Amino acid sequence: MPLAGAVAMAVLLGVAAFVIFNRDHDCSGGKLALRVVATPEIEPPLSKIAASYNKAMHSVDGRCVEVAVAKEASAKTAAAVAAGKAKADFWVADSSLLMESMRATPAGEALPQVEGSIATSPIVLAAAKSAASKLGGALQPSWASMISAANVANVDGPGRKVRVLALDPQKNSAGLAALLAAAGIAKESGKDKELVGALKELADQLATDSTALLASLTVKSGSRVPVGVTTEQAIYAHNAAKPKAPVVALYPKEGTLSLDYPVTILTKDAGALKAAADFKQALATESAKKTLRDAGFRSEDGKAGSVLSKAKGFDPEAPTALDPPDSATVTRMVQTWSRLNLGSRLLALLDVSGTMALPVPGTGMTRMQAINKIATEGLALFPPDSDIGLWAYSTHLDGQGKDYKELIHVGPLAETVNGTLRKDQMVRTLATLQAKPTGDTGLNDTVKAAYTELTKTYKADKINTLLILTDGAGNDDPDGGVTDSQLLQFLKKTYNPKKPVSILLIAFGPEARAGKRQMDALAKAAGGEAYIADDILQVRDFFLRGMERRLCMPNCDG
């Protein structure tokens, strides 16, 4: 009888287990599909977690949940969400920064709240393992060093040895996080101007995604060592795929921001909402967290898996976390990037009056040579897609009564005109331009004509600027022409804040300071700025300050 009792007990326990199992895994109502869309890098471990979840037969209201994970770039999903066309029930984006950026748009008001993070990956600098030792003192792992190396105006700095590559912040959250981290450090250290120079340079050194960026780090190209900015997990994935061309992570000493892979539940269906909540719970289990860590991610608390070891070029200790930016800061950075990278359309006016032949004490150059060098230095900061033109001005320069002459028509620097690139034409013309020995300075007539031309041919997709380079003598026209007060009235009347054509005036010479008040008035009448160069190298800073004004136009002065 004891044996019979034991058998009966086993049967009863088996029946109970069967009832309990089927009660918790009741699929009698069929299947309940949960559509998950995830940013590409986290899709593989999520799919692995989903497969285990499906196998465990989780049920909701008598239906077994079946999770299907698809990959899609977060920016693309964000656009679909904003347009009300998202096909996902459950979305894992790469960063809350993207969500904050979306909330600043009209469509963002209807965006559901983020429901926590499932993983993190810090933003780091990266270099090929074979080249990292060559960086030496050229670039220490820090945001400040990165800004210095990328600053287009710092031609004698670490940029001579290091080439910084970035991810497009409009398409990639890691790129946006890197800019926000760098901008925060720049603001703390008073290097806003240097940041502008770095952003201008990085705009021409963008990679579409981390895979392309990391691949380019291991390809020898020129004498400068390429250094990139990406996520720690992207470096792990690169090394796993290309073990013969490894990349190492360089952790910024100031600390960094991280991608946090937030969950947003998009569905409004009652059943799918329950399924989403259940799957979200599954993602919080230690088993799921380990799967994510094994793919190179960290847990939300910064804990790393064994794959992020020192032997493999990583630091298992979580880097210092910078304070996350608020939504206003994120929005401002997105606007800053967009505005700084609008194309440039610039007409340069070059003073060739008689005083330009005078020597500049202590330089071994004439004023003409100094101004030409300033123009060459400054115009070299503009990318090839910029529209640039050049006029010279004095008095009676292009026939009797016409004080200016068009030397190079405004157009793209990379455009070929009569077999020569406009950029090369510009350099050659500046190098050979001579002062007119008997010429006076018909500045006002020239400014009025040039400003009228730029206003008439205004391009909305570019920043339109009139650049005036002079020795600071101001208007000196014995034939009369436009007076100072008439020019100011004309500019104030013509300037249109909705279609701004600004004036950037740079003066170099002993008379410059005496005419500063009039130069300031002239530039500010058209939303611009006037600068006096005591040293030719200062021109780099002046051009960067002019670029900075893009961020506040048309209300830079209140």
Confidence of residue 449 (pLDDT cuts 50, 70, 90): very high
State the pLDDT at residue 4: 52
Average pLDDT on 495-499 reads 91
pLDDT tens per residue, range 265-302: 999 999 999 999 999 999 999 999 999 999 999 999 99
When pLDDT is cut at 50, 70 and 90, the band that residue 14 belongs to is very low
pLDDT score of 23 more than 50: no
* C-beta neighbour count of 549 within 10 angstroms: 20
Confidence band of 2 (pLDDT split at 50, 70, 90): low
Write out pLDDT tens, residues 61-72: 899 999 999 999
Find the range with the poorest average confidence among 228-237, 329-338, 407-416.
329-338
The region of weakest confidence among 77-91, 131-145, 501-515 is 131-145
Residue 554: asked if its preceding bond is cis (omega within 30°), the reply is yes
Which has more pLDDT, 392 or 378? Answer: 392
Q: What is the mean pLDDT of residues 174-183?
A: 91
- For residues 473 and 109, what is the distance between their CA atoms, to the nearest angstrom? 56
| Choice between 537 and 417, residue whose per-residue pLDDT is larger | 417
Fold entry, domain 342-551: Rossmann fold (3.40.50)
Contacts of 209 (CB under 8 A, 6+ apart): 167, 171, 172
Q: What is the pLDDT of residue 558?
A: 45
What is the predicted pLDDT for the residue at 147?
Answer: 87
Is the pLDDT at 25 greater than 70, yes or no? Answer: no
Tell me: pLDDT of 12 over 50: no
Lowest mean pLDDT among 251-255, 276-280, 398-402: 398-402
- pLDDT level of residue 7 (50, 70, 90 thresholds): very low
At residue 409 the predicted structure's pLDDT band, cuts being 50, 70 and 90, is very high
Angle at the Cα of 383 (from 381 to 387), degrees rounded to 5? 105
Instruction: Specify whether the CB–CB gap between 120 and 233 falls below 8 A.
Output: no
Contacts 24+ apart (CB under 8 A), 451-455: 451/490, 451/491, 451/494, 451/501, 451/503, 451/526, 452/494, 453/347, 454/345, 454/347, 454/501, 455/494, 455/496, 455/499, 455/501
Share of the chain above pLDDT 70, in %: 88
* CB neighbours of residue 323 within 10 Å: 9
Q: In Å, how far are 187, 350, 393 from 354, measured between CA atoms?
A: 44, 13, 11
> Which residue type does 332 have?
R
d(CA 30, CA 505): 74
Of the pLDDT bands very low, low, confident and very high (cuts 50, 70, 90), residue 6 is: low
Position 240 pLDDT exceeds 70: yes
- pLDDT over 60 at 354, yes or no: yes
How high is the pLDDT of residue 544?
67
Question: Token digits for 27?
Answer: 């699929």
pLDDT of residue 10 exceeding 50, the answer is no
41 confidence band (pLDDT: 50, 70, 90):
very high
CATH H-level, domain 21-117+262-296: superfamily: Periplasmic binding protein-like II (3.40.190.10)
User: Average pLDDT, stretch 472-486?
Assistant: 82
The domain segmentation of the chain, as residue ranges, is 21-117+262-296, 122-259, 342-551
Highest mean pLDDT among 100-104, 201-205, 521-525: 521-525
Confidence of residue 548 (pLDDT cuts 50, 70, 90): low
> CA–CA separation, 170 vs 179, rounded Å?
11
pLDDT value of position 154: 67
Report whether pLDDT(93) > 90: yes
Q: Give me the pLDDT at residue 290, please.
A: 97
For the ranges 124-133, 425-434, 472-481, which has the lowest average pLDDT?
Answer: 472-481
Q: Which CATH architecture has domain 122-259?
A: 3-Layer(aba) Sandwich (3.40)
Q: Contact 303/293 with Cβ under 8 angstroms?
A: yes
Topology match between the domains 21-117+262-296 and 122-259: yes
- Give the pLDDT of residue 279: 96
pLDDT recorded at residue 21? 41
Contact 421, 413 (CB under 8 A): yes
Q: What percent of the chain has pLDDT over 90?
A: 44
pLDDT in the model for residue 19: 38
Does 340 have pLDDT greater than 80? no
The residue with greater pLDDT, 342 or 465, is 465
